[in-house]
Structure 1
Amino acid sequence: MPISKLAVIRSTIAAFLIGLAALGAIVATTFWLVSETGTYTRLSMAIRLQRAALVDLRILLQDTESGQRGFLLTGEETYLAPYDEARRRLAAQIELVRTRLAGVPEDAAAVARVVEIISGKLTEMQQTIELMQAGRRDEALAIVRTDRGRVLMEEARRLFESMVANAEQRIADSVARQQATIKWLYWVTLLGALVIVAVVAGATWMAVVYTRQLVAAQREVEALAAGLEERVRERTADLGRANEEIQRFAYIVTHDLRAPLVNIMGFTSELEASLASIRAWFDKAGVPADDPIAEDARLAAVEDAPEALGFIRSSTRKMDGLINAILKLSREGRRTLRPERIDLGALLEAAADSIRHQVVEAGGEIEIAPGLPTVVSDRLALEQVFGNLLDNAVKYRSPERPIRIRVGARSEPGQRLVVEVEDNGRGIAAHDHDRVFDLFRRSGTQDQPGEGIGLAHVRAMVRNLGGDITLASQLGRGTTMKVDLPRDLRKSLRSAGVNAREPARETSQNRDDRG
Structure 2
Amino acid sequence: MLDVSAQSAEFARPRRRGMVRRVAIFASLTLVLVAVAASLYLVRTVDNQLADIAKTYEIRRQARELMLAVVDAETGQRGYLITRDEAYLAPYNVAIGNLSQTYQSLLALLGDNPAQQARIDALVPDLDAKRAEMARTIELMSSGQSAEALALLRSDTGQQLMERIRSGLQEVIGEEDEKLIDRNGRMQLYRQLTIVTILAALGAAAILAYALLSRTQRKVAALSEQQNLLRSQNEELEAHVRARTVEAEEARGHAERERARLETLLQDTNHRIGNSLATVSSLLGLQLARTQSEEVRTALEAAQLRVQAIASAHRRLRLGADLETTDAAEFLADVIDDLAAAVPSGKQVTFEKHLQAMVIPARDATTLGIVVSELVTNALKHAFAEGEGGIIYVRFERPAGGVTLLTVEDNGKGLTGGGQDGLGAVIVKQLARQFGGGEPSYRERPGGGTSISVQLPRLDLPEAG
Q: Which is greater in Rg?
A: 1
Q: TM-score range by the shorter chain?
A: 0.3 to 0.5
Structure-2-length-normalised TM-score: 0.43
Structure-1-length-normalised TM-score: 0.39
